[in-house]
A and B are shown apart, each in its own frame.
Chain A
Amino acid sequence: MTIEKMLATYEFEQWLYQEAKLLDDIDFDGWFSLMHPSLKYQMPVRVNKEGTERPDYALDMYAFDDDIELLKIRVDRLKTDYAWAEIPPSRTRRLVNNVRLIDYKPNEKAVVNSYLMIYRSRSTDIHHDLISGERLDEFIFENGEWKLSKRFFIVDQTTINTRNLAIFV
């Protein structure tokens, strides 16, 4: 691995950690400012296939299928007094690891693969939910900053074990 790629990998690790921190701190505006206007934010439905046939997720149904406008609706909604799903907000802890740089053009674009584990706790509920999966992210460099232009989150469960996705992945 070249020094340049090592530094870039470190830079995207830090980007993803910072993103996780903003979401866990419920700073949705701060988080939204990391998004590129051309954003595609998708989470396909995972399916059980016989044998090793791939991909083992749907190509035509998603738990999230947002562009920047739809994501904005979600963020705005969480700020109304009626977003009961997050009153009080979930305590979340996003663990990001196995960060790998797949494609990298300095000051232009990057493709980054990472693993994500979200711990979610709601209110007084003693249950906790775990959502784990893999992310394929694409970034565009604009005005001196890396912005997320595409996220594809492949969840590890076919039946999602959390009451809703009022949180972001």
Chain B
Amino acid sequence: MRGNFTHLRRLLLASIACVLGAAVLTYLVDPLQLFRPSRLAFYSDDTRVQNAGLIRSQSFDTAFMGTSLAIRFRQSDIDRALGVHSLKLAMTGSNSRQQGFVLERAIERGARRVIWAMDDFIFVDAADIEADPFLSVDLYRQTTKGIASYLFSAAMAKESLFALLRSIPPLQQKLTQAAPFLPVKFALSDVDDIYALSRDFDIARDYNAKKTLASFAYITSPVRSRFLGEGCGYDAMLRHFERDAVGLITRHPGVTFDIYLPPYSILQFVAMRDASPATLKIVTDLTARIAERLTQLPNVRLYDFRAIRAVTHDLNNYSDVIHHSPVVDAMVLNWLMRGEYRVDPEAPLASLDALKAQIEAYRVER
């Protein structure tokens, strides 16, 4: 009996030692670069976690934010086109609350300019950030809880161990090459590669009219069309816009906000027109309000790219009804650089009216 209690004590003590050992390993390797920047660091596509470290370890003067529509940009392209030192913080499927929260942290760390790809649907479901299970506010704020959740984490211990192995010279090259294909999160050796498509990516294979039309048929099918308007409510969306966008902008009058409404394919609006007109009305009403409100703020430059026919009507630019190709990403940077399609504060609804006319006139080729 006594022997068994000894074994029990030994088991528990050894477990505690393992837990502490894992925490020390993560602290020393610091895969997120939360405590110290590293020249040998690797990066992750898990942007909701990765951004917490990027904001602390990178030097930047411009923050780039958006959803999956903005995730494929390369920081180097942004820097080259706009002459800035940017940090891409776009997060797939993010809502306005998450975006606002992350941008606020970036501004606190020195961003003087924000480039924000603002989708209307980010305002649909923007729950309380303090209880958000997908974005750890404590990690970003570096509270005790946040630091503990980082250090006492099997996932981070695994990443740290892999990083350690990767730093051993004989293994370095092979593990670095294999990392993107292994189940490790911190696999990218260049911060520029986060979520970016490889340079030799076959764009025509993934972005073409066939896929775009198939997606249109899918979302407008009678059994699924009700999802088009799911969660959409004008009042709630407007409230989220005021809290997350206007609130952030007015709290930071010294920061310049270049906000653009991204160029969805025309089919996105046509789908709503045909299958969910009430949703289309909510979206256009909200856009009108966004345009009127943002153009009145002195530190905002608002751009509307949604009525550029040459882009939005060419379905080869898209992989579905909203996601555009990297070719359009380059155009977006070019338009921002030249200041094209900027919404005139004197006529904030002009581009929206043009878009409405296009939606009305468009006929889908089946």
Our verdict on whether A and B bind, yes or no, reads no
The interface of chain B, by Cβ under 8 A from chain A, is none
